[in-house]
Amino acid sequence: MTIHVSDSTPTPSGSHNNSDSRPTTGTVTVPPKFQVALEPTGSVAIFAAPSALVKEKAADGTMTQKLIVPAEILDQAHKLLKDASKGTIIIKANDSEPSVQVQLPGGPLAAITGTNPNAAIGIELNESSLEFQLNALNLDSAAKRLGAAVSDLQITASMAQVSDSVKQKLERLGTKLGFRMLSHAADFKVTASAKGQTVQLNDSVGKAITRGLVYNEGTKNGTVIAVYYDPGSNTVSYVPSRPSLRSSEKNETMIHALHHSTFAVIETDNRSFTDMNAHWAKEDVEQLASRLIVDGVSAGRFAPDESITRAEFAALLVRALGLSNEQDGAYSGFEDVPSFAWYAPAVEAAVKAGLVDGMTTGSFMPDERISREQMAVMLARALSLTPEGNNLPAHNQALAVFKDQDAISPWAQASVSQIVQAGIIGGMGDGNFAPADDATRAQAAAMLKRFLHAVHFIE
């Protein structure tokens, strides 16, 4: 089921009006606040009239629009799902404030999940959108955390543009780092409330959530990407995204992140390195550099044929996936990864996401050169965090193409098989896989580029 919020409130044929549509005087009627209809795209749409959006002013003067979707409207949408080819529900509304909250009752959502386990919820506003798998909400767990019944839950999806002060910080960062803002920066949150308590649903929704930001066209001389902003470190980091086009012809970037945060669409200056001019990995390296994923070793120099360490590759993979670098005081970590090391946040993020393990000694060995088969294992684990790669089987016969297949460690064979099938890694020029060889910076960049392409995070 998908819940979107659209740019208009048309009255489709065959639509269902809610009980707010009732006559007042002789020839005057109150327009319905909601209409429910099947869309030509195969989804179920809920159209919210402007009168359904209620404005509330906070103590600091900021204005929020709230859209409370009644249980009976969701029930009507649920009934229409049997005729919908996509099994999706779309909530569409024409918002006018920088902050919007859409509230949904837990009972009808649980009922929809019961009959449509793969349904998705989406919210589409004029400048942003949000979509997530309904079963990812894990309503039973949320109710238990709040000491309430599922029917008592109120699920709220919030999309709010950042304050002027944060916007100015981002603009200053852009001047410093070489990028231009193409969209409003916005905070996204999904919460569950009951009995006066509220909990965020970051962890449960993370793998199955997509956010969207409408953006203006750039100069077309750079690279358009989405980033998340970390106010603590005042930095921006790449987040997986791909361009889309709304039916209204608005450009929109769809963002795939495993955490809630502040996101924005930017255009970066294209980047190049003097030592990549004739290198086989030139295009891959410079494309990832323009996406803020890889850096040079110095100004204008990438050093493509130098080896890469375990910590360096973990950091690259964390950036490619757009994982949050927020550190947790309860995280114990590895004894050989000091908290002050530049790579400590990335190693912590990689451990939490299940991308890396320690060595047999219980240490991480961050400065050890990473082998090709070790890199393959980390990439295979990264695949499991994406919808496209989660169900990719491991057929060890895929290793038969390598003359040295018997040299691949047993613990790495399934992973190597998966990423070979996904087209992320291949053999060396002599037909060998060379599992124990040190990976180079160029090889790491090329594999990351193929990984992002395989999971449709870049075109």
High-pLDDT (> 70) share of the chain, %: 88
Average pLDDT, the chain: 86
Contact 38, 85 (CB under 8 A): no
Q: Give the pLDDT score at 343.
A: 92
pLDDT value at 171 more than 90: yes
What residues does each domain of the chain span? 16-269, 275-454
Distances (CA, A) of 323 to 14, 318, 389, 432, 443: 44, 5, 17, 33, 22
Q: Give the pLDDT score at 1.
A: 39
Distance between CA atoms of residues 217 and 177, nearest Å: 20
Give the residue among 239, 289, 221 at the shortest CA–CA distance from 446: 289
Q: Give the pLDDT score at 29.
A: 57
262-269 and 197-200 beta bridge pairing: unpaired
Q: Give the pLDDT score at 4.
A: 40
Give the up-direction half-sphere exposure of residue 442: CA atoms within 13 A in the CB hemisphere.
Answer: 16
When pLDDT is cut at 50, 70 and 90, the band that residue 237 belongs to is very high
Q: Per residue in 255-283, pLDDT tens?
A: 988 888 899 999 999 999 999 999 999 99
Cα of first residue to Cα of last residue in the chain, in angstroms, is 26
At 199, list the tokens: 């909990």
pTM: 0.85
Residues paired with residue 2 on neighbouring β-strands, in sequence order: none
Contact 89, 1 (CB under 8 A): yes
How far does CA 195 lie from the centroid of its chain?
A: 30
pLDDT value at 434 more than 50: yes
Contact 263, 213 (CB under 8 A): yes
Give the residue among 313, 448, 452, 455 at the shortest CA–CA distance from 374: 313
Q: Per residue in 404-433, pLDDT tens?
A: 999 999 999 999 998 988 889 888 878 899
Q: Give the pLDDT score at 60.
A: 79
Q: Per residue in 198-208, pLDDT tens?
A: 998 865 455 56
At 275, list the tokens: 């030592």
Give the residue among 351, 349, 185, 322 at the shortest CA–CA distance from 256: 322
99-105 and 154-161 beta bridge pairing: antiparallel
High-pLDDT (> 90) share of the chain, %: 57
Contact 195, 150 (CB under 8 A): no
Distance between CA atoms of residues 327 and 345, nearest Å: 6
